Structure 1
Amino acid sequence: MTLIKSISGIRGTIGGTPGDNLTPIDAVKYASAYGYWVKQQRNKSDHRIVVGRDARISGAMIQELVMQTLVGLGIHVIDLGLSTTPTVEMAVAMEHADGGIILTASHNPKQWNALKLLNNKGEFLDAAAGQEILDLAEGDAIRFSEVDALGKITRNDAYIDLHIDEILDLPLVNANAIKKAKFKVVVDGVNSTGGIAVPLLLNALDVHPVKLYCDPTGQFPHNPEPLKEHLTALMEKVVEEKADLGIVVDPDVDRLAFVDEHGEMFGEEYTLVAVADYVLRHTPGNTVSNMSSSRALRDVTQKHGGQYTASAVGEVNVVEKMKETKAVIGGEGNGGIIYPELHYGRDSLVGIALFLSHLAEKQLSVSELRKEYTSYFMSKKKIELTPQLDVDAILKQLASNYVSEEINTIDGLKIDFATNWVHLRKSNTEPIIRIYTEAQTQAEADGLAERFIGEIKALVNN
């Protein structure tokens, strides 16, 4: 398995050969490069970096390697232990720290882990900063501190609670309406840190959580990507418990999906759509999502008199475009909510609080709320990459094949047809080509995806 180095961080499978997998040597190498880069950004003597992790099995090992490497660089570490990606992001800002590292491979299976790297605002690094760190890792400029200048590690277990407090203080989080609604919610924490954080938030809102896979052992009970085919147990549990809805997050709690009272998926793409509808109703403005996200966000934005903008895929690109357009809400169609009133990062916890506020104020069931939005149907497929596969050449050839259609190449290849679209891109986090399609029926979306898979395979075989 190739070690993946991108703006999304350093990601790979545990074990194996250094340079090909995420081994202890690689963890130290890239933590060294990041720590040294942080020291170069601000000329001072007391650099501080926040470090937290999800519950995956390799997390404790990788975190110790990373933290002790930073100590060796003379950097003081604030250790959050088991935490969430948005919590670490907020802790960087609240601590006025110089950066942050989250040890998580997000939705990847348990054999994966990663170093996600943050700047001093608690936001993901841009491509230029990421490249500087990769260059440092391959060079010989890094210098470690002498014995009297080593850093220290300070443990702080309070930040999930502080994160929740900040959410409860948001004007649009209608805690009173939520409490009156007396929601009963089944929570699938995929045996990671969502099993800690989501029930804490719900309890603070007087919502009764029914816990499913909320023991943070890192033994994921199903594929941790929150897609319908992985969530059978949650859907059945919602019906069994006669709950109002089900909530599922990924292992680091930056992706969010809902199940309605009938045990049916609300639609991962519609997490952002529903939350944006609520936010725009109270605070009209602009929105942003990435190119692979549903047209439904555009529809909701225009309904409220705002302007919708599409960005390249990747949280850093969404955030950049949100700042540029002064968007009041944005995110990614994979269930990632970015609410800048709190912070510029995908955050399932604030997404839950805003969604429940919307539901409580509307006094609708989850299935009734879903009917308020235009129904688009998406298909998300992927093709495994091999070293021989020239992705850029394939996408260039496909673009030339569809030159008469609306073409966008800022991130892979997106082809907009009259009633549907396809987006093809090389993943930042896995060795795959992602194929996203959207159409007016599921059969049409699936058919479009299969058609392009066939066209790609035909190009590969020629």
Structure 2
Amino acid sequence: MTLIKSISGIRGTIGGGVGDTLNPLDIVKFTTAYATYIRRSKQSQSNTIIVGRDGRISGEMVKNVVCGTLMGMGYDVVNIGLATTPTTELAVVMEGAAGGIIITASHNPRQWNALKLLSHEGEFLTAQDAQEVLDIAEQEDFQYAEVDQLGHYSENNTFNERHIENVLNLQLVDVESIRKAKFRVCLDAINSVGAVILPKFFDALGVQCTVLNGDVTGDFAHNPEPLEKNLTGIMDEMRKGGYHLGIVVDPDVDRLAFICEDGTMFGEEYTLVSVADYVLAHTPGNTVSNLSSTRALRDITEKHGGTYTPAAVGEVNVTTKMKAVNAVIGGEGNGGVIYPESHYGRDALVGIALFLTSLSHKHCTASQLRRTLPNYYIAKNRIDLTPTTDVDAILQRVKEHFRNEQVNDIDGVKIDFPDRWVHLRKSNTEPIIRVYSEASTMEAAEELAQQLMQIVHEMQ
């Protein structure tokens, strides 16, 4: 049983003891802390908080506890029902709400759920603001509303359509070109909210869609993280032929992966790269991704005359950096596309629409498009540590060891060599160091990782 409290929100497994899991008492505690923070921050005059959830088994229970708690704090709740993370983010802005709570554990397995907390701008809380929520939760100095000041509850099920309309109206989304291409796609909706919104989205685009795992039960048909090892079902379906593209989303539809027409992976890292290549060709500018994402985005950005800037891992860190450098597009190598023209949040619908537009304009297949992009391979490893290991000291020694190389230490230690890179960062939840490395071949990426791991072992 696990309960993880971090700047990314509150997540945990369902069932078990108080303080060890995401149970009703802890849901009340952290929802109350969030509402207290919203009131203290005075960043919005609104008294409304938006609540949306993915299709998880525990979603109904968690939603009821969250909504009741917010009403007990005196807030009016607008429940938008089964909704993606980006839909909920947009709903906060569209309603002029004080904030929002997304009930989703993203790519985590079925026994998990989480509270993801939004500002009045429909964006994840900054690290400082999220820490304030955690501090309030520990103090438990809560004040609930008197009977005449209790909040009101309402439901609004229009935001899926409004999200779709938002994407269709983006300047670089060419709906007519997509319709003329008569695309046939296969969608793995992983038994969650992708099965609610994406068929409507494809219908609006004139795209013929076959849905796999389309029952919104939350009983995921496979591990919900959109990695190649988990996607044998849709890859097998694609190999049967008859499709232009396979599309995979995670349970809250902020991550996006493509399968080529021949059943091969387009590459999760290349979701952002391919979309950025299209966007930059029409609106030259700067880009941002996190330190553990492929170098291909930098290559594409510089090809179009822009500047690439790395950010610390975490969506809020990426969006903060995007605003600082006025990036026209950014995101994360896990299939997260952030396009400010729509909003500052990872959005699979935006990624799909821009990708299909690019395909329709270039009159090529997905595999042909992939071959036009810089080719790199990322190896992902880990070093297991004892709970007493001084990880910061180890990373400092690694930094000193490579002091003559290009080193970035905004989040762990990343060493950039001319033809490869390696990134070491400590986990926030486990006594491990994550070791990501990239090179022109998988063998070279693995070799670099092993070299760094050996150096770390010798330093312990």
Do they superpose with TM above 0.5? Answer: yes
Whether 1:414 aligns to 2:378 is no
CA apart distance, 1:450: 3.9
Structure 1 Cα separation of the partners of residues 199 and 430 of structure 2: 30
Structure 2 Cα separation of the partners of residues 280 and 273 of structure 1: 10
Paired position in structure 2 for 1:71: 71
CA apart distance, 1:223: 1.3
Amino acid at match of 2:18: P
CA apart distance, 1:148: 1.2
CA apart distance, 1:28: 0.9
- The more displaced of 191-200 and 115-124 is 191-200
Alignment of 1:50-199 (within 5 A): 50-199=50-199
Structure 2 Cα separation of the partners of residues 93 and 261 of structure 1: 37
Whether 1:304 aligns to 2:279 is no
Paired position in structure 1 for 2:341: 341
CA apart distance, 1:282: 1.2
Paired position in structure 1 for 2:358: 358
Amino acid at match of 1:237: E
Q: 1:258 to 1:431 in 2, by over 3 A?
A: farther
- The more displaced of 73-82 and 391-400 is 391-400
Q: 1:235 to 1:156 in 2, by over 3 A?
A: same
CA apart distance, 1:449: 2.9
- The more displaced of 126-135 and 391-400 is 391-400
CA apart distance, 1:387: 3.6
Structure 2 Cα separation of the partners of residues 185 and 418 of structure 1: 39
Instruction: Tell me if structure 2 keeps the 8 A contact 1:46–1:76.
Output: no
CA apart distance, 1:280: 0.9
Paired position in structure 1 for 2:246: 246
Paired position in structure 1 for 2:14: 14
Deviations 1:164-190 (A, max 9, x none): 011111111101110111111000111
Alignment of 1:317-332 (within 5 A): 317-332=317-332
Amino acid at match of 2:5: K
Instruction: Tell me if structure 2 keeps the 8 A contact 1:424–1:433.
Output: yes
- The more displaced of 362-371 and 191-200 is 191-200
CA apart distance, 1:427: 3.8
CA apart distance, 1:429: 6.7
Q: Helix, strand or coil: the match of 2:243?
A: coil
Amino acid at match of 1:64: N
Q: 1:431 to 1:39 in 2, by over 3 A?
A: farther
Amino acid at match of 2:261: E
Structure 1 Cα separation of the partners of residues 97 and 185 of structure 2: 36
Q: 1:208 to 1:27 in 2, by over 3 A?
A: same
- The more displaced of 190-199 and 376-385 is 376-385
Instruction: Tell me if structure 2 keeps the 8 A contact 1:11–1:429.
Output: no
- The more displaced of 180-189 and 192-201 is 192-201
Structure 2 Cα separation of the partners of residues 288 and 308 of structure 1: 6
Deviations 1:17-58 (A, max 9, x none): 222222221111100000111112228886111011111111
Instruction: Tell me if structure 2 keeps the 8 A contact 1:4–1:430.
Output: no
Q: 1:305 to 1:61 in 2, by over 3 A?
A: same
Q: 1:57 to 1:454 in 2, by over 3 A?
A: farther
Structure 1 residue runs without a partner (length 5+): none
- TM-score norm. by structure 2 comes to 0.96
Amino acid at match of 2:391: V
Q: Helix, strand or coil: the match of 1:331?
A: strand
CA apart distance, 1:14: 1.7
- The more displaced of 117-126 and 209-218 is 209-218
Q: 1:118 to 1:408 in 2, by over 3 A?
A: same
Q: Helix, strand or coil: the match of 2:310?
A: strand
Alignment of 1:195-234 (within 5 A): 195-234=195-234
Instruction: Tell me if structure 2 keeps the 8 A contact 1:7–1:428.
Output: no
Paired position in structure 2 for 1:289: 289
- TM-score norm. by structure 1 comes to 0.95
Amino acid at match of 1:424: L
- The more displaced of 445-454 and 280-289 is 445-454
Structure 1 Cα separation of the partners of residues 138 and 451 of structure 2: 41
Instruction: Tell me if structure 2 keeps the 8 A contact 1:99–1:122.
Output: yes
Deviations 1:355-391 (A, max 9, x none): 0000000101000000111101111234566644443
Instruction: Tell me if structure 2 keeps the 8 A contact 1:99–1:120.
Output: yes
Amino acid at match of 1:333: G
CA apart distance, 1:432: 5.1
Instruction: Tell me if structure 2 keeps the 8 A contact 1:72–1:144.
Output: yes
Q: 1:43 to 1:458 in 2, by over 3 A?
A: closer
Structure 2 Cα separation of the partners of residues 433 and 106 of structure 1: 22
Q: Helix, strand or coil: the match of 1:381?
A: strand
Paired position in structure 2 for 1:449: 449
CA apart distance, 1:149: 0.9
Structure 1 Cα separation of the partners of residues 270 and 408 of structure 2: 24
Deviations 1:110-151 (A, max 9, x none): 121111100000001001111111111111432000111111
CA apart distance, 1:330: 0.7
Number of equivalences = 460
CA apart distance, 1:63: 1.3
CA apart distance, 1:351: 0.5
Q: 1:33 to 1:111 in 2, by over 3 A?
A: same
Structure 1 Cα separation of the partners of residues 432 and 254 of structure 2: 21
Q: Helix, strand or coil: the match of 2:110?
A: coil
Q: Helix, strand or coil: the match of 1:5?
A: strand
CA apart distance, 1:206: 0.6
Q: 1:316 to 1:360 in 2, by over 3 A?
A: same
Structure 2 Cα separation of the partners of residues 49 and 432 of structure 1: 37
Structure 2 residue runs without a partner (length 5+): none
Amino acid at match of 2:146: E
Structure 1 Cα separation of the partners of residues 277 and 176 of structure 2: 20
Structure 2 Cα separation of the partners of residues 404 and 92 of structure 1: 47
Alignment of 1:378-457 (within 5 A): 378-383=378-383, 387-428=387-428, 433-456=433-456
- The more displaced of 352-361 and 54-63 is 54-63
Identity of aligned residues (%): 57
Instruction: Tell me if structure 1 keeps the 8 A contact 2:241–2:262.
Output: no
Whether 1:276 aligns to 2:276 is yes
Q: 1:402 to 1:171 in 2, by over 3 A?
A: same
Paired position in structure 2 for 1:40: 40
CA apart distance, 1:452: 3.8
